Amino acid sequence: MEIQPDLLERLLVEDMNFKRRYTKHSEYKQKVSNLEGRAHLTPAELQEKQRFKKLKLALKDEIEEIIAQHEA
């Protein structure tokens, strides 16, 4: 997901809906990264990692849709 820095900054300031999604996406990305950094995961942790990945992907799609609307 490549966002023009000026557009990203503007959306983060002006669009609270975008900011909320962008922040949540970053949180899920960090959680996935933390789990992937571990040597061994329990079955519950594996399931949690998959859930975070799905949530992150859904938010990415929503973020890209908002960006496309503002680029048009």
Report the predicted TM-score, pTM, of the whole model to 2 decimal places.
0.88
pLDDT of residue 1: 60
Sorting pLDDT into bands at 50, 70 and 90, what band is 2? confident
E strand or H helix that includes residue 15: none
The dihedral region occupied by 3, where left means phi > 0, alpha psi between -120 and 50, and beta the remainder, is beta
Mean pLDDT score across all residues of the chain: 94
The 10s digit of each residue's pLDDT in 30-47 is 999 999 999 999 999 999
User: Total domain count for the chain?
Assistant: 1
* Parent domain of 11: 5-71
